[in-house]
Amino acid sequence: MQDTYPRPLGRVLVTGGGSGLGEAVVRAVADGGGTPAVIDRDVSGIVGAITTRQADVSDRVAVERAVAEIAEELGGIDAVVTAAGIDRCGRLDAVAADEWERVIGVNLLGTVSVVRAALPHIERAHGRVVTVASSLALRALPDATAYCASKFGVLGFSRALAAETRGRIGVTTLIPAGMRTRFFDDRDEQYRPGPDAQLNDPAEVARTVVFALQQPRGCEVRELVVCPEEEPSWP
């Protein structure tokens, strides 16, 4: 059965919805008539979400509990957008092992935990998962081994999930280049974008997430690359 376009957004769970791209997605979903819910480490300043739960996505047990509570409160979940993410820049031998592994825990394992916990609800709704990878899931940079490993992993996980669940849910991988967010604030100066850096507004990227979510059943947007017009590293 094929729905019509645009498909109603429904109940959309957004991880990392308190800032950056996640916050922009929450706003875009609400503006589009959907019901956004958020899981984040800090939910104190979140605006626009119907419900929130405080949890670290790298804590699988906490994620499972938060997803279950949100699904019960909203009567189900129609879609998930995994926007939570962190980075630790530096040479492999200069980044502490626990910090390196935390990037994997949040970006990759956190994505997997949220999707796994929400999957039964999404399948009942024949809904959609939008995972957030990165342009660094397609190319590698020095001093970014943790981030590249995590985002290459998200891309591989998402492609395999799409193959595994085809016909039951939709799976879209968002591959954004750099955005004008606070993501870079805690980096050393050498790893921050320069004043002439080509960066997208997260609101523009969030609109592409809504586009994917609104595709009718039977029509798949498998991967979306979103980058500035003058992005020097693409293609």
Active-site residue numbers?
147
Listing DSSP states for 152-199 in one string gives HHHHHHHHHHHHHHTTT-EEEEEEE--BSSGGGTTS-GGGSPPTT---
What are the helix (H) ranges across the chain?
A: 20-31, 60-74, 97-103, 110-125, 145-165, 202-213
According to DSSP, residue 106 is labeled I
Collapse the DSSP code of 30 into the 3-class scheme (helix H, G, I; strand E, B; otherwise coil) and give the result.
helix
The strands making up 51-54's β-sheet, listed across from edge to edge, are 51-54, 35-40, 11-15, 79-82, 128-132, 170-176, 223-226
Residue 85 CB burial class (10 angstroms; 0-12, 13-18, ≥19): buried
- What does the alpha-carbon distance between residue 188 and residue 22 come to, in Å, rounded to a whole number? 23
- What does the alpha-carbon distance between residue 81 and residue 35 come to, in Å, rounded to a whole number? 13
Angle between helices 110-125 and 60-74 (to 10 degrees): 30
